Structures are given as C-alpha cells and as structure tokens.
Chains A and B, each alone.
Chain A
Amino acid sequence: MDDFDWPWEYNFPPFFTIQLHGKTKELQLSVWTNLVLKYFRHHRESQYTIGDEIVLFSNQQIQRKLSNDGILLILEELEKSGNAAPVDKKRLQWEIYWHPLDEWGNIIYQWASDNGMTNTVCTLYEISQGESSANEEFFGLDQSVLVKALKTLQAKQKCELMSFDDNEGVKFF
C-alpha cells in the first residue's frame, strides 16, 4: 500500500478539480486513467462503487477529493478503451480491467497452452488461485472478470466454459 508510486499530480491540488480548458482536461484525464489502472493493478482489485471513499480519489494530505461526477467521467473514459465497464444500470458499480478483457483472455490462453493445459478441463479456482499460476498476473483475479475474459476466448472458439456440481470449469482448445 505504502509502496505505491504516486505521480506528482496526486499532490497537485487542481488535479482533483475537473479542468474546463480542453487541452488541460485531456491531459488531466489521461493522467487519471493511467493512475486508476495502475492503482487497481497494484492492489489487484477490480470492483469499485462510486461513492466509496478510497485513497485513490481522495488525498487527505492536501484535503482534496475528486467529486463523484469526476470519478464517473474518468471511469467512462476508461470504458471507451475497454478498461472498465459498469455492472449496474445506474452506472454506480464498476469493474476495472487493467487489461482489456480480450487481452486478459489472450494472457490466460497463452499460459494454458504454455503449461500443456489444452484439451483438459481445469477449474476457475485453479486458474486464479492455483499453484501453477502463482506468478501470473491473473493470480487472484476477480472471478467475475475472469469469467468475462474467458468468454471472449469462448467467442473465438479457443475454450469452452462449463459448470459441474457447483464448480465452474473451462476447457481450452
């Protein structure tokens, strides 16, 4: 937590006020979107609900915080690049993908074929919590994100999701 490398903008008070001037705003949004992805990646988290107070959007030291509208603006910016998606209709609950879903899919598929796991069935638990993926970036990945990533693979006929008992599994081709 403490070892997170904040950009200097995080201590720059106006960074927490959405800028009106076009170019400055563009720059501000790009710094924010990068920071959000970096933050969630660092903490290996994927879920965020607008209104939750987290350090990322609120800097106690300089007493500045980003408004909910500001947060929404940044998440919508991330949505454009496939790095975030709202989960509910009110667009309050969000998932953040520090890799876009299809990229996640490819990373997992690469891992599966590197480890000779094609044509066998493995559980989702094995993928995100198993020993053989302990060093992988997707280790500990949010279950719902994992399923969505695998679905992009399924759409490309590279795997098939299946459920048995109350466990979910996947077969890579």
Chain B
Amino acid sequence: MRRRAGVGAIHKQKVEAEKYKDKGIEIQDSQFEQMTKNMEVFRENLEEFAAKHKNEIKKNAQFRRQFQEMCAVIGVDPLASGKGFWSVLGMGDFYYELGVQVVEVCLAANHSTGGLMELEELRKRLVRARGQNAKHQEITNEDILIATKKLKIFGNGFVVYPIGRDRYMVQSIPGELSLHETSVLEVAAKQPEGCITEELLQKELNWNSFRSNQAIEKVVGSGLAWVDDQGEVKTYWFPSLFPGRTIQQR
C-alpha cells in the first residue's frame, strides 16, 4: 500500500530537519570551543615562548619581526601591552622608547631638513643616538615604522609617507601633506640629488603647467624645498633628500 504523505510525515520530516540543525549547531559549537581552547593554548605557549626568549626578541631584529608576524596572525598586539601579560616581554617599552627617540632625533634635525627625513637616515641617526648602551640592539626600518605608528596619537605631527619602493619619508612637523605634495616628493626621491624642475614634474606625473606650478609653490611655501635660480632653469631642492647633507656628518 502506497503511503500517503500525511501531516504526520511532514511533521516528522520537520522534526528531523530540526534535529539535524541542532546537531549541526552542536558540532559547530564544539568546534568553536575546541578552537578557542586551541587558541588559548597557543596564546599560553606564545606567552611562555615570549618570556623565555625575551632577550632574543629584543636583540635580534629578524627574530623580532617573525614574532611580530606571529602575533599579528592571532590578533595580539604586543604593543598594547602596558599592563597585560605581555608586559613580561617589555616589548611595549621597547617600541615606546624607540618612539620617543624617533621624536627626539626628528626634532633635532627639523631646522635643517624642513621637517622631513628619510627613514633610512632616521635609522642611522637613531642607532647613533642610542649609543653604546644599546649597541647590540639592531634597529630595523620595520621597527621604526611600528614605533612611528604609535606616534599617531599626537595628531598629524608625525606621519610616514611611502615614496616609491621600500622608501619612506617621516614628516615631523604639523600639517598633513596633500596628495600633490607627496607625488612631488616621490618624483624628487627618484632624483640622485633630490632636485626637481617644473618640467620634470610635468613629464613624470603628466601634470599641466598650472598643476605642477601649484604643487611646487606648496612645497616651497611649507619650507620643504629651496629654490635655486642660478641654473639654466629654476630648480627646487629638498634638503631632506640632498645626499651632501648626510655625507659630511659621517
């Protein structure tokens, strides 16, 4: 006899479906629980690892970077560490200290650089400023980038601009650079002496004369570039990108 699809059957199907659903949620929950547990274990291990290799992390730049990456993956910020268990590491201190030094070095050079400095130069100055005490502590450009990120809380007085491949400019005077200005910087950074002409801007950026003129006026007006009118055409020079400035110091 053919069974007819009755209300009972429909009802039964519905109940089964719900059961499956419940089971699914149950499995999901248990999986999640498992994951959470795993994460907990991982964090614990990471903490243990951090405490154990504290000195290594502070000293060895490569190690430090890998550790940073590891933390980033699980969403832990060792810098937000003031009080938490991360303070065993003192890593927060490391970057805060570096941040303060970044400010000091930048401010000390502001008068001659117009408030801009290349990251690489900043690093060299930092290493020199840190002196003997921290001699064994290598500082990488990445460390400085991390430290400067923390300086954002001071408003726009400290900004890092990328200027082409693996090159950065650190700005340490208030006032954000416009897109125009950073484009000009990027072009200037590509020139061996850090000097540009209006024509060069027009060629490199596909700008018309009005636009490049305005951008130049802007960088000159904010003290970032100097004018030289003794060449064939007017040239504009960035002290922050002028190689002769740092050569003499060594």
Contacts and interface: CB of A to CB of B under 8 A. Distances in A.
Chains A and B are bound partners: yes
Interface of A: 7-8, 11-17, 19-21, 23-24, 27-28, 63-65
The 7 nearest A-B residue pairs measured at CB: A14-B226, A14-B228, A13-B228, A8-B245, A11-B244, A8-B248, A23-B223
Contacts, number: 55
A27 B111 contact: yes
Nearest to B114: A24
B230 A17 contact: yes
B117 to A, nearest CB: 14
A13 B235 contact: yes
B231 interface: yes
A12 B220 contact: no
A13 B194 CA distance: 12
Contacts of B166: none
A28 B226 CA distance: 10
Chain B interface, DSSP helix/strand/loop, else mixed? mixed
Contact of B237 (A12, A20, A65): A12
Contact of A17 (B112, B114, B228): B228
A12 B245 contact: yes
B113 to A, nearest CB: 10
Nearest to A5: B248
A65 to B, nearest CB: 8
B204 interface: no
A17 B226 CA distance: 9
Contacts of B239: 12
A12 B223 contact: no
Contacts of B226: 12, 14-15, 17, 19, 24, 28
A14 B227 contact: yes
Contacts of B242: 8, 12
A19 B249 CA distance: 24
A20 B230 contact: no
Contacts of B246: 8
Contact of B244 (A8, A24, A63): A8
A38 to B, nearest CB: 15
A14 B237 contact: yes
A21 B221 contact: yes
